[in-house]
Amino acid sequence: MPLDPITTEIISNRLREVRVIQDVEHLSSKL
C-alpha cells in the first residue's frame, strides 16, 4: 500500500532525528 502524504512526511522527519542520533553514536564510538 502506498504511504499517504502525511505519514511519509512524518517518517521523513523522524529520519532526520535518527540521523542526528546516529551522528552522536558514531562520534561517541570514536572517543
Under the binding rule (CB under 8 A), the answer on residue 30 touching another protein is no
User: 546516529: which residue's cell?
Assistant: 22
Under the binding rule (CB under 8 A), the answer on residue 29 touching another protein is no
Query: Residues 6 or more apart from 26 whose CB is under 8 A from it?
Result: none
Under the binding rule (CB under 8 A), the answer on residue 1 touching another protein is no
CA distance 8 to 14: 10
Under the binding rule (CB under 8 A), the answer on residue 8 touching another protein is yes
Under the binding rule (CB under 8 A), the answer on residue 17 touching another protein is yes
From candidates 2, 6, 29, 30, binder to another protein by CB under 8 A: 6
